[in-house]
Amino acid sequence: MRGHAAGKWFIAGIAVATIFCATANAQHFDQKLFSEMRWRCIGPFRGGRTVAISGVPHQPNVFYMAAVNGGVWKTTDFGNTWNPIFDDQPTGSVGALAVAPSDPNVIYVGSGEGLQRPDLATGDGIYKSTDAGKTWTHMQNLRDAQQITAILVDPQDPNRLFVAAEGHPYGPNEERGVFRSTDGGHTFAKVLYKDENTGAADLAFDPSNAQTIYAVLWAARVAPWEIRSGESFIGAGSGLFKSTDGGNTWRPLTKGLPTADDGLSRIGIAVAQSQPNRVYATVEAKKNGAGVYRSDDAGESWNLVNSDRRIGGRGPGAMGIAVASDNPDIIYVANTTTWKSKDGGKTFVGFKGAPGGDDYQRIWISSEYPQIIALSSDQGTVISVNGGATWSTWYNQPTAQFYHVTTDNRFPYWVYGSQQESGSVATMSRSDYGEITFRDWRLPGIFEYGYIAVDPLDPNILYGDWLTRTRQDIGEYAKITPEPIRRGEYRYARTLPVVFSPLEPHTLYFAANVLFKTTDAGNSWQVISPDLTRETYEISKHLGVFAASDPEKGKHRGVIYAVAPSFKEAGTIWAGTDDGLMHITRDGGKTWKDITPPQLKPWSKVSIIEASHFDAGTAYAAINSFRLDDLRAHIYRTRDYGKTWTEITRGIPDGGASNVVREDPVRKGLLFAGTEGSVYVSFNDGDDWQPLQLNLPHTSMRDLNIHGDDLIVATHGRSFWILDDFTPLRQLNDEVAKSAAHLFAPQKAIRFRWNRNPDTPLPPEFPAGKNPPDGAIIDYYLASVAKDPVTLEIFDSQNHLVRRFSSTDKPIPMEKLAAENPIPMYWARPEQILSPEPGMHRFVWNLHYAPPDALEHEFPISAIYRDTPRYPLGAWVLPGAYTAKLSSGSWSFAKTFSAEIDPRIKTPSIALHKQFEMETGAVAGMNESFAALAHVKSVRSQLKNLDAKAGKGALADSIAVLDKKCAELEGAAQSNFFGVAPGAKPPENFSTLNQHFGGILAVADSADAAPTTQASAVYKELQLALQDLTGRWTKIREQDIPALNVELKKAGLAAIDPSKVPDAAPSADADSDDEP
């Protein structure tokens, strides 16, 4: 709204239709209009798939690891804690990294997952850091390689490196094979190349001679459909190669190894540091010859030393193998378990693993300390410093890979998702303990892929992909699939829809190649559609020469991948398949109509369909065409039940296939989309898009969920994130964008206790997700720097001032906080000051009145790292209506909002008012005793200065008498943790009174309830004591001091000034004079 002249302000009473109306021409809004909104990670801190791992020479405590879609992480404490160091880069998909042995500050990162599997991510080339990961440079080369599987750096020259590029997983391309750079990655030359279908999968140096390099070529292609007999198509170009002239020329190493006729696939390679002629290889061969091979003549000939496929055969994995740095007979092989051999590969024992399969990828062993070993796996990265006796944890890495996200309607609401390789997670969106940790997780027991549906009538009941029904309170998991034993009657994929009807809460849908429906919790199912997938299809041209090796050529493979029951019209259901078809029924499944957009090709995956919340004929569809070697986003909109479709992707750049589109249920035309790299927002129904990335790391955004005013994203590599209170996006319009200043309408604020933990806090290094802001979120926008101070005032429904903040407020100096508390200051929550700078600002008022004037401050035991407020706090505000008034110079805005009690609390209003009366009374008592104490101390200080000048006569006696009276009022605060000794009840003074009022404030504030009888009794005693002390102090000021001043005047000495307060007196907060 436009500003008014000083002295005039107004309540914004804009009608909802006006706020939420977006003009058709409102295409983009400047990012500064919502720049201070923040995504927060809620975990879980349970690792996802990692491939790349490296230690650092001469720094045994330092490691780098890269999640396949979670970026690069660094530890300096052997994996006790990990910190992300790649979050500002445009990709989070990493398949390789290497630290230069001669300069540990130089790190190279190769993007792209590098695993040929049905669910993968690609990258955009090489990144380099020259300051140990603090900053990165995108080298702008090998961008079309898409998947980089290995990097070798010359041990003596950090500028000389080799890169293994696997190439496009779904199509042919030229930028694949082995590349060499001699200028630090600025330019690359292709030095080993076979053809457009064959990439490079692994590299190794001869440890004694960096001119000798081993390289693995791998001819593989991922199909648009998931292959039953394996993870990728295998071609004839795979093999092991060797160069002895620094990569100029190469020759194949074949003697004793499987051939193309054996189905030779991926190879992993390792050279013994202590005996460079000893070379090991893990070899995958589809027909015969898979296993662990050994060469004792630098690769010229090979012997199969172990043919156990549990050890050596693993097509889609990285085929990781490593040799102990001090013993050529000790080798480790990464598979579903990591295996160890002490006899050169003849026999193996399980080294690290678990039932269900940890699925290890690569192994790193220190060349200096062979007992230091690091493993990357589908569960994360772990490190051992004692040869595998014990390991660090992967429960400190928020790199979980989720497919979908849903929420329930509890408070606080829970977030649910199935995690790749690990199972499923239910986690609170907000913890009662100040931060979200393992204490706030549940394990729903649902399969690792796909959907979770929460029963809309009972959030205790969950339904999961592959059809299970979970009763959360007792952990009971019932299998309720329509086909109890899968005998080929229906077709399934890893991820299949499980969704409730938003209009019929007893109706649950599940999809295979047909659509199922249950109305009795899965005890019986009804098929309500024919097979909705393609009867025939053309083989994608991108499959190329690999099509001939399809073991299921011609078989029907499609499934229903997306289901969207209407929010507006019972019986209307939208469905999309993973082979590129879309259908609609408007009669509950009796009849279906093909509504496929003509642009959809076979095997264009209909990832998500979003039925409109406003119009039954409107829907949106996110189409993922990555499996057709197409990384562009494709999002479609229909407004006529699918008769016509419009592609709506303007503003979304190429390079990130689309996974999801969601419609805001409040503001019509406000859409959100997630791609393989970013989150986007549209304000005009998809006609135009702009980034909503903010602080969110770039990764695969698989699903979005809107819960109230929050937007939740399920990432496939960085766990769950929540954008709290995105209502400024609902309120943005042209008028706001053109305004010099604007106050957004605050939303309902909940009186939520920031931390209910009464015990010792978790240590700062403990992994934890963030809680949302505890209080009222007040967003405002300034087009330019405010020339006058910016003030924010909070008024109650009676127009009484509750709290006041200003951009001129000064934070309490850290040295003062440190002097008050014998703890490290990393526990303290930074004070927030109103900003006068241009842009959007988010200010949080904690729903308390101003803190009282206290002699003692503390950070409570219920502490959170960098988020612990300084106690005591002021009184809680009562539930009700409040007004936020933002002002600066000649303009002023005001918006109303409500503060409400935690909905789990059923305390009646009269009880809350009693609590409020005691809290505000205690605060008033603290303020009064504090002020009186300051004056008493000032008088005593003045008396002390006169004592030496008064001599030893009657004047000195008068001074001593007055000082004794003041000393009795001043007193001293109790220091005993348990209070005074039993039976003793010394009289109150201003010091103990301030302390005791603070104690009764804490008692009253301990729960949302009326004060206890005993608390009320003590409170009355304190009030009487304050009345007595105040009376005595008044008498001293009005009688004793004037009488003494007469004597002082006769003696020619300065009079006592009872109104004087010394500079050293305890100070209150800047807004302590606000109304209670």
DSSP of 2-31: ----TT---B----HHHHT---TT-----G
Using CA atoms, how far apart are residues 108 and 748, in angstroms rounded to an integer?
Answer: 48
**Taking every pair of C-alpha atoms in the chain, what is the biggest distance, in angstroms?**
119
Cβ 48 vs Cβ 717: under 8 Å: yes
DSSP letters of 558-627?
--EEEEEE-SSSTT-EEEEETTS-EEEESSTTSS-EE---TTPPTT-EEEEEEE-SS-TT-EEEEEE-GG
Q: Which residues pair with 476 in a beta bridge?
A: 471
Cis peptide before 872 (omega within 30 of 0): yes
Extract the tokens encoding 513. Answer: 């190649």
In this structure, the number of other CB atoms found within 10 A of the CB of residue 756 comes to 12
**pLDDT score, position 317:** 80
Extract the tokens encoding 778. Answer: 């007040």
What residue segments make up the domains of the chain, in order of their start? 16-22+31-37+742-901, 50-266+290-317, 913-1050
Alpha helices, DSSP H, located in 732-836: 734-738, 814-820
Which long-range contacts link 526-532 to residues 24+ away (Cβ below 8 Å)? 527/482, 528/585, 528/588, 528/589, 528/590, 529/560, 529/575, 529/583, 529/585, 529/589, 529/592, 530/592, 531/556, 532/560, 532/575, 532/577, 532/581, 532/583, 532/592
Using CA atoms, how far apart are residues 307 and 1072, in angstroms rounded to an integer?
Answer: 77
Using CA atoms, how far apart are residues 792 and 886, in angstroms rounded to an integer?
Answer: 5
pLDDT tens readout for residues 1036-1057:
999 999 999 999 999 999 999 9
Output Rg (C-alpha) for the chain, integer angstroms: 35
**pLDDT score, position 7:** 34
**pLDDT score, position 814:** 87
Question: Terminal CA-to-CA distance of the chain, rounded, Å?
Answer: 31
**pLDDT score, position 1069:** 39
pTM above 0.85, yes or no: yes
As a CATH number, domain 50-266+290-317 is 2.130.10.10
Within the chain, which residues score under 70 in pLDDT? 1-26, 227-231, 315, 551-554, 556, 975-984, 1062-1076
Cβ 420 vs Cβ 410: under 8 Å: no
CA distances from 981 to 382, 974, 977, 986, 997 (A): 54, 11, 11, 10, 19
Q: Which residues pair with 214 in a beta bridge?
A: 204, 242
Question: Is the sign of the CA dihedral 485, 486, 492, 493 positive or negative?
Answer: positive
CA distances from 133 to 85, 109, 137, 514 (A): 6, 10, 10, 50
In what helix (H) or strand (E) does residue 923 lie, and over which residues does it extend?
helix 909-950
**pLDDT score, position 17:** 34
Residue type, 131: D
Using alpha carbons, select from 326, 329, 272 the residue that is nearest to residue 305.
329
CA distances from 226 to 95, 182, 295 (A): 22, 40, 36
